[in-house]
């Protein structure tokens, strides 16, 4: 079985409480991430019965967005969502980048956005730029590089980003990674 670890800019997360589940009739105990369709199908009572803060006695709920999903479906519910996980079933499917950017820039989501699935080391700096906060990593190479403190990245970018950036020196159209 492949080891899966959650990484943030601060390092690896010990004892990550989140579990991705398929919603049946009842949600299991603990902090859960359910597919978008299942979250929308939850009753108001089920959605409001969960807490957003980790120290509370109620469970937190997150939403799993797949490449074919439309994040704007939950725009009016974002205040009830503690974590949005965006699935990358294949590293070559970049729709998750657009989903994260939409959540941050257009929908104003301020909670945690997590990349799950086929997350590779080369993608992490770019994912951070569009708004991802955490990464569920199972690639041995990616885990090794992150453990060594080498997340990689490109220091100069032409385009603006969801994450704050410093203006480049000499050219107003260049941005330095923050």
Give the structural domain span for 148. 5-153
- On whether residue 170 sits in a domain, the answer given is no
pTM > 0.85: yes or no: no
In a domain, 106, yes or no: yes
> 76 in a domain, yes or no?
yes
Could you tell me if residue 31 is inside a domain? yes
Cα–Cα distance measured from residue 1 to residue 18, given in angstroms and rounded to the nearest whole number: 19
Q: Examine residue 45 and state whether it is found in any structural domain, yes or no.
A: yes
Domain-embedded: residue 107 = yes
List the beta bridge partners of residue 115: 86, 135
Q: What is the number of structural domains in the chain?
A: 1
Q: What gap in Å lies between CA 43 and CA 153, rounded to an integer?
A: 42
Q: Residue-wise pLDDT tens for the chain (178 aa)?
A: 568 999 998 999 999 999 888 866 677 778 889 999 988 888 776 766 555 555 554 678 899 999 999 999 999 999 888 899 999 998 888 899 999 999 999 999 999 999 999 999 989 988 998 899 999 999 998 889 998 887 776 665 555 555 555 555 444 455 555 5
Q: What are the respective helix, strand and coil percentages of the chain, to the nearest 5?
A: 25, 20, 50
162 inside domain: no
- 93 exposure class (CB count in 10 Å sphere: 0-12, 13-18, 19+): middle
């Amino acid at each position: 079985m492949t080891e899966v670890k959650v990484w943030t800019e601060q390092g690896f997360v010990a004892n990550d409480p989140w579990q991705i589940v398929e919603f049946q009739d009842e949600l299991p105990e603990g902090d859960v991430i359910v597919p978008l369709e299942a979250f929308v199908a939850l009753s108001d009572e089920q959605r409001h019965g969960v807490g957003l803060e980790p120290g509370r006695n109620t469970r937190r709920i997150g939403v799993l967005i797949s490449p074919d999903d439309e994040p704007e479906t939950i725009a009016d519910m974002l205040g009830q969502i503690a974590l949005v996980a965006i699935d990358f079933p294949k590293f070559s499917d970049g729709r998750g980048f657009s989903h994260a950017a939409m959540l941050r820039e257009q929908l104003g989501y301020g909670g945690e956005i997590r990349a799950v699935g086929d997350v590779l080391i080369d993608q992490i700096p770019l994912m951070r730029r569009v708004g991802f906060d955490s990464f569920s990593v199972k690639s041995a190479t990616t885990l090794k590089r992150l453990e060594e403190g080498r997340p990689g990245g490109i220091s100069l970018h032409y385009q603006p980003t969801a994450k704050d950036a410093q203006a480049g020196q000499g050219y107003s159209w260049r941005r330095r990674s923050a």
